Amino acid sequence: MILIADSGATKTHWILIDNKQVTGEIYTSGFNPYYYDPREFEESLSKTLAESVPADKISHIYFYGAGVSSEANKAIVEKAVRSAFPNAVVETHHDLHGAAIALLGNQKGIACILGTGSNSCLWDGQKIVSNVPSLGYLLGDEGSGTYLGKLLVRDVLIGDADDKIAEMFYGDNNLDFSGALDRIYKQPNPNLFFSQQTKFIKENLDRPYFRQLVQRNFNDFIKVQISKYAGYTSLPVSFVGSIAFNFREILEEILSENGISAGKIIKEPMEGMIEYYLGK
């Protein structure tokens, strides 16, 4: 029996596979070794996961998670997982590695994450061989929900969006100009405020401005991320994440305009991970 984990900030999605079949699905708390106490994660695993699966029969665990990039962070995650499954072989990888497996498997290509945040890599079929730094929402995250929301908020506040769009934005958020500035600069987690605008944008895609906004978002991602990889126009470029999935039509349109071949586009990485591990 093997366990596969896809871990983010809010939840960890576990899939149990036995004899080439999915036999269980469990959710535990999310974990990022940069931000959270590993003892809380260990407790969550012991209480929720170990009681739901036959711990003594698990031979391998493949854990893909946010923040699992350095050797130190990998060791933290491995220790937490081993606390619940001391006899299993544990492999830990960054969530971008998991995205590449989910999207490309053993094939060469470019794998992209377009969700609340964004990231990308060049995958040779076995490992990541190149990664353009995303830099987070303050300096980057082009293509993401956070960046998309930031484009809208900036347009509204600076006056580049017309009066009707501004009226809609302020009404939807129950804010005025000064209230919006306060939310961004004086309250915690402005990135969440930006990313929450994607629902508003999607609901109004029939208006040309909002469609153009999404197009700008994807064009910026291509310019800053995808175009930095050698031979990007000759490789399949695949995507995982809510923004890629929910704005798929526009994404495929922009990729085509830039001479880029669209590969797989899925909402959740686990969908592709299951396919990969069932085929091994």
What is the C-alpha to C-alpha distance for residues 74 and 90, in angstroms, rounded to an integer?
Answer: 10
146 & 76 share domain: no
- From first CA to last CA, the distance across the chain in angstroms is 13
State mean pLDDT over 10-15: 84
Q: Which domain covers residue 254, as residue numbers? A: 107-268
The predicted pLDDT at position 163 comes to 94
Q: Does any domain span residue 277?
A: no
- For residue 64, the cross-strand partners are 6, 93
137 & 237 share domain: yes
139 & 51 share domain: no
Of 8-22, 149-163, 167-181, the poorest mean pLDDT is in: 8-22
Q: pLDDT at residue 255 above 90?
A: yes
Cβ atoms of 53 and 16 within 8 Å: the answer is: yes
What is the C-alpha to C-alpha distance for residues 165 and 255, in angstroms, rounded to an integer?
Answer: 27
Q: Which of 87, 119, 135 is the last residue of a domain?
A: 87
Q: Does any domain span residue 94?
A: no
70 & 136 share domain: no
CB atoms within 10 A of CB 160: 12
53 & 128 share domain: no
38 & 128 share domain: no
What is the C-alpha to C-alpha distance for residues 64 and 91, in angstroms, rounded to an integer?
Answer: 9
Q: Which of 35, 58, 87 is the last residue of a domain?
A: 87
What is the C-alpha to C-alpha distance for residues 278 and 163, in angstroms, rounded to an integer?
Answer: 53
Number of separate domains in the chain = 2
121 & 210 share domain: yes
Q: Does any domain span residue 97?
A: no
77 & 146 share domain: no
Packing angle of the helix pair 177-185, 163-173 (nearest 10 deg): 60
Q: Chain-wide mean pLDDT for the chain?
A: 90
113 & 207 share domain: yes
SS3 105: coil
Residue 135 has which token pair?
């830099």
String of DSSP letters for 45-90: IIIIITTTTTGGG--EEEEEETTTTSHHHHHHHHHHHHHH-TTSEE
Q: pLDDT at residue 50 above 80?
A: no
Q: Does any domain span residue 82?
A: yes
Q: Does any domain span residue 128?
A: yes
SS3 16: strand
CB atoms within 10 A of CB 133: 12
What is the C-alpha to C-alpha distance for residues 41 and 19, in angstroms, rounded to an integer?
Answer: 28
Report the candidate in 8, 58, 269 with the shortest Cα–Cα distance to residue 49: 58
Q: Does any domain span residue 218?
A: yes
Q: Note the pLDDT tens digit of each residue in 91-104.
A: 999 989 999 999 99
Q: pLDDT at residue 87 above 70?
A: yes
Packing angle of the helix pair 269-278, 95-104 (nearest 10 deg): 60
Q: Using H for helix, E for strand and C for coil, what is the string for 237-272?
A: EEEECHHHHHCHHHHHHHHHHCCCEEEEEECCHHHH
State mean pLDDT over 47-63: 83
242 & 119 share domain: yes
Of 64-73, 85-94, 165-174, 245-254, the poorest mean pLDDT is in: 64-73
144 & 40 share domain: no
Q: Does any domain span residue 275?
A: no
CB atoms within 10 A of CB 40: 12
Q: Note the pLDDT tens digit of each residue in 192-233.
A: 899 999 999 999 999 999 999 999 999 999 999 999 999 999
200 & 125 share domain: yes
Q: Which of 33, 57, 87 is the last residue of a domain?
A: 87
The predicted pLDDT at position 280 comes to 65
CATH number of the structural domain spanning residue 200: 3.30.420.40
Report the candidate in 67, 49, 13 with the shortest Cα–Cα distance to residue 272: 13
Please name the helix (run of DSSP H) or strand (run of DSSP E) that holds residue 146, with its range, or none: helix 145-158
Q: Does any domain span residue 66?
A: yes
Q: Note the pLDDT tens digit of each residue in 223-254.
A: 999 999 999 999 999 999 999 999 999 999 99
The predicted pLDDT at position 80 comes to 84
Q: pLDDT at residue 36 above 70?
A: no
Query: pTM for this one?
Result: 0.85
